[in-house]
Chain A
Amino acid sequence: MNPLVVSALAVALLLAFAWWQQRRRNAALQRQLDLAATELQQLQQACARLAPAGVVDRMVADGVHAATDLPAERKVVTALFSDLVGFTAMSEKLEPPVMARILDGYFQRVSDAVHAHSGHVSTWLGDGMLAYFGALRPNPWQCADAVRCALAMVEAMRAYNEELTRDGLPPLALGIGIHRGPGLAGMIGSRERREYGFVGRTVNLAARVQSLTRTHGVEILVTASVREELGDAFRLQAMPPERVKGIDEPVATWAVAGPAGVEPAAAAATIDLPMKP
Chain B
Amino acid sequence: MDSALAHVAWETSLVEPGHDRAMESYARRRLGVPHMTVRYFLAAPWVARAVVDLHVEFGLLMKLDQRTADLIGLVVSQENSCRFCYAIVRSTLWLQGMDAARIRRVEQDFARADLPPPAQAAIAYARAQSRSGPAGALSAWQTLRAAGIDTLEAKEIAFTVAVTDFSNRVHTMVAAPYLPAERMPEHPLIRLLRPLLDRVLGSHRSRGAPAGLPPADPALPYGGLVAAFAGSPIATALQRLLSEMWVSPHLSRRCKLLMFAVVSRGLPCEVCELEIARALRHEGLAAEVLERILGRLEAPELEPTERLLLPLARETLWYEPAVLQRRVRALRDVLTPPQLIEAIGVAALANALCRMTAVALTAQDA
Asked if A41 CB lies within 8 Å of chain B CBs, one says yes
Between A and B, 17 residue pairs with Cβ closer than 8 Å are A34-B108, A41-B78, A57-B127, A116-B323, A137-B133, A138-B267, A141-B296, A141-B297, A144-B297, A262-B298, A268-B308, A268-B311, A269-B311, A269-B327, A269-B331, A270-B330, A275-B339
Contact with A along B125-140 (1 / 0, CB 8 A): 0011001110110000
- Whether A276 touches B334, Cβ cut-off 8 Å, given contacts A139-B266, A264-B297, A268-B308, is yes
- Whether A138 touches B268, Cβ cut-off 8 Å, given contacts A275-B339, A276-B334, is yes
Contact yes or no, B2 A34, CB < 8 A: yes
Complex-state Cα separation, A264 to B104, whole angstroms: 43
Contact yes or no, B334 A272, CB < 8 A: yes
Shortest beta-carbon distance from B101 to chain A in Å: 7
Shortest beta-carbon distance from A173 to chain B in Å: 30
Residues on the A chain within 8 Å of B294, using CB: 140
Contact yes or no, B336 A271, CB < 8 A: no
Interface stretch (choices A46-54, A84-92, A98-106, A192-200): A46-54
Asked if B275 CB lies within 8 Å of chain A CBs, one says no
Residues on the A chain within 8 Å of B304, using CB: 271, 273, 275
Shortest beta-carbon distance from A96 to chain B in Å: 34
Shortest beta-carbon distance from B99 to chain A in Å: 12
Complex-state Cα separation, A264 to B128, whole angstroms: 31
Contact yes or no, A34 B104, CB < 8 A: yes
Contact yes or no, B101 A30, CB < 8 A: yes
Residues on the B chain within 8 Å of A190, using CB: none
- Whether A276 touches B336, Cβ cut-off 8 Å, given contacts A138-B267, A140-B265, is yes
- Extra A-B contacts (18), CB below 8 Å, given A37-B108, A269-B312: A34-B2, A34-B108, A41-B78, A42-B4, A53-B132, A57-B128, A138-B267, A140-B265, A140-B295, A231-B296, A268-B308, A268-B311, A269-B311, A269-B330, A271-B334, A273-B334, A275-B334, A276-B334
Residues on the B chain within 8 Å of A57, using CB: 127-128, 131
Shortest beta-carbon distance from B273 to chain A in Å: 11
Instruction: State the B residues within 8 Å of A (CB).
Output: 2, 4, 7, 78, 81, 101, 104, 107-110, 127-128, 131-133, 135-136, 265-268, 292, 294-298, 304-305, 307-308, 310-312, 314, 318, 323, 327, 330-331, 334-336, 339
Closest to A56 in B: B131
Closest to B135 in A: A138
Asked if A265 CB lies within 8 Å of chain B CBs, one says yes
What 9 A-B pairs come out closest when comparing CB atoms? Answer: A264-B298, A53-B131, A269-B330, A37-B108, A53-B132, A265-B311, A273-B304, A268-B311, A233-B296
Shortest beta-carbon distance from A144 to chain B in Å: 6
Of the listed residues B78, B127, B298, the one surrounded by the most CB atoms of chain A closer than 10 A to its CB is B298
Residues on the A chain within 8 Å of B267, using CB: 138
Asked if A237 CB lies within 8 Å of chain B CBs, one says no
Complex-state Cα separation, A28 to B265, whole angstroms: 49
Contact yes or no, A138 B296, CB < 8 A: no
Contact yes or no, A268 B307, CB < 8 A: yes
Complex-state Cα separation, A45 to B267, whole angstroms: 19
Closest to A36 in B: B108
- Whether A41 touches B308, Cβ cut-off 8 Å, given contacts A233-B298, A272-B334, is no
Complex-state Cα separation, A231 to B298, whole angstroms: 11
Contact yes or no, A144 B296, CB < 8 A: yes
Complex-state Cα separation, A34 to B131, whole angstroms: 22
Complex-state Cα separation, A271 to B314, whole angstroms: 17
Residues on the B chain within 8 Å of A231, using CB: 292, 295-296
Residues on the A chain within 8 Å of B335, using CB: 275-276
Instruction: State the A residues within 8 Å of B (CB).
Output: 30, 34, 37-38, 40-42, 45, 48, 52-54, 56-57, 60, 116, 118, 137-141, 144, 229, 231, 233, 262, 264-266, 268-273, 275-277
- Whether A265 touches B314, Cβ cut-off 8 Å, given contacts A57-B131, A140-B268, is yes
Residues on the B chain within 8 Å of A38, using CB: 2, 4, 108
Complex-state Cα separation, A229 to B297, whole angstroms: 13
Of the listed residues A30, A56, A272, A276, the one surrounded by the most CB atoms of chain B closer than 10 A to its CB is A276
Closest to A273 in B: B304
Closest to A230 in B: B296
Of the listed residues B127, B294, B311, B336, the one surrounded by the most CB atoms of chain A closer than 10 A to its CB is B311
Complex-state Cα separation, A231 to B104, whole angstroms: 50
Contact yes or no, B314 A141, CB < 8 A: yes
Shortest beta-carbon distance from A39 to chain B in Å: 10
Complex-state Cα separation, A37 to B106, whole angstroms: 11
Contact yes or no, B307 A271, CB < 8 A: yes
Contact yes or no, B266 A41, CB < 8 A: no
Complex-state Cα separation, A262 to B107, whole angstroms: 44
Closest to B294 in A: A140
Complex-state Cα separation, A81 to B133, whole angstroms: 28
Complex-state Cα separation, A264 to B311, whole angstroms: 8
Shortest beta-carbon distance from A162 to chain B in Å: 25
Contact yes or no, B307 A262, CB < 8 A: yes
Contact yes or no, A41 B296, CB < 8 A: no
Closest to B268 in A: A138
Residues on the A chain within 8 Å of B292, using CB: 231
Contact yes or no, B296 A264, CB < 8 A: yes
Closest to A265 in B: B311
Shortest beta-carbon distance from B38 to chain A in Å: 24
Complex-state Cα separation, A189 to B9, whole angstroms: 34
Residues on the A chain within 8 Å of B128, using CB: 53-54, 57
Contact yes or no, A137 B334, CB < 8 A: no
Contact yes or no, A37 B104, CB < 8 A: yes
Complex-state Cα separation, A275 to B307, whole angstroms: 12
Residues on the A chain within 8 Å of B266, using CB: 138-141
Complex-state Cα separation, A270 to B78, whole angstroms: 31
Closest to A35 in B: B2
Residues on the A chain within 8 Å of B331, using CB: 269
Contact yes or no, B311 A42, CB < 8 A: no
- Whether A52 touches B307, Cβ cut-off 8 Å, given contacts A264-B296, A265-B297, is no
